[in-house]
A and B are shown apart, each in its own frame.
Chain A
Amino acid sequence: AQSVTQLGSHVSVSEGALVLLRCNYSSSVPPYLFWYVQYPNQGLQLLLKYTTGATLVKGINGFEAEFKKSETSFHLTKPSAHMSDAAEYFCAVSARANNNDMRFGAGTRLTVKP
């Protein structure tokens, strides 16, 4: 089965600073990888996904993530944080065989200071 570890349950950055949210995965087969964002009292929304092809994936709101197979990582970055980026972020992994085994990390809460 797949698993995901998100390093840091809470990350705080200043507005305009680099955002780096860490995700490491474990999978016995080539994975699909996702980042989701959750705003208060809402469901999760897709930020970006890696399936095949280019390892640097660009998503919405200026976020991007790089799939590094050798490091089993899929870290999420944004060059300049905005106040509206404050939310909870979840990394998820699923096996290429089916989505029924999609596993989520515990989440990282991002705080953006003015």
Chain B
Amino acid sequence: IAGITQAPTSQILAAGRRMTLRCTQDMRHNAMYWYRQDLGLGLRLIHYSNTAGTTGKGEVPDGYSVSRANTDDFPLTLASAVPSQTSVYFCASSEGTGSPLHFGNGTRLTVT
């Protein structure tokens, strides 16, 4: 089934540790996104990539980095995790402007 695969499903991480959340899509979409979901705040965009080789900052990029080496993969890295990064992280992709987003099932991250 075509879609977006995120790993891990959940993770408990000690503050100060480095963590990479993985995201792979098989729909050949050019655009990919990382959002965080927090209760009462909806989804907020962390970083995006319009095409392989390019990335951009979203609404809440501090403390996160991304790379887009190819069309299918879009990993999100927390260089030194802090408790405020406890959240559910969603990867998404789209065909482009005006197209809806396709979401993975999320990674639940707890930073202690």
A interface residues (Cβ-Cβ under 8 A, vs B): 4, 9, 32, 34, 36, 41-46, 49, 51, 90, 94, 96-102, 104-107
Contact = CB atoms under 8 A, between A and B. Distances in A.
Interface string B1-35: 00010000000000000000000000000010101
A43 B105 contact: yes
B105 A99 contact: no
Given A96-B98, A102-B45, A43 B106 contact: yes
6 contacts: A9-B40, A43-B104, A96-B98, A99-B31, A99-B94, A101-B45
Given A43-B90, A106-B40, A96 B97 contact: yes
Given A9-B40, A43-B4, A43-B106, A102 B56 contact: no
B101 interface: yes
Contacts of A96: 97-98
Contacts of B99: 99
B100 A34 contact: yes
Contacts of B90: 43-44
B108 to A, nearest CB: 9
Nearest to A41: B105
Given A102-B101, A104-B43, 16 more contacts: A4-B42, A34-B100, A36-B100, A42-B105, A42-B106, A43-B4, A43-B92, A44-B43, A44-B92, A44-B103, A46-B101, A90-B43, A99-B101, A100-B58, A102-B45, A104-B42
Contact of A99 (B44, B97, B103, B106): B97
Given A44-B103, A100-B56, A100-B58, A106 B41 contact: yes
Interface centre among B48, B90, B96, B101 (most CB of A within 10 A): B101
A32 B105 contact: no
Contacts of B42: 4, 90, 104-107
Contacts of A100: 31, 33, 45, 48, 50, 56, 58
A88 to B, nearest CB: 10
A22 to B, nearest CB: 15
Contacts of A36: 100-101
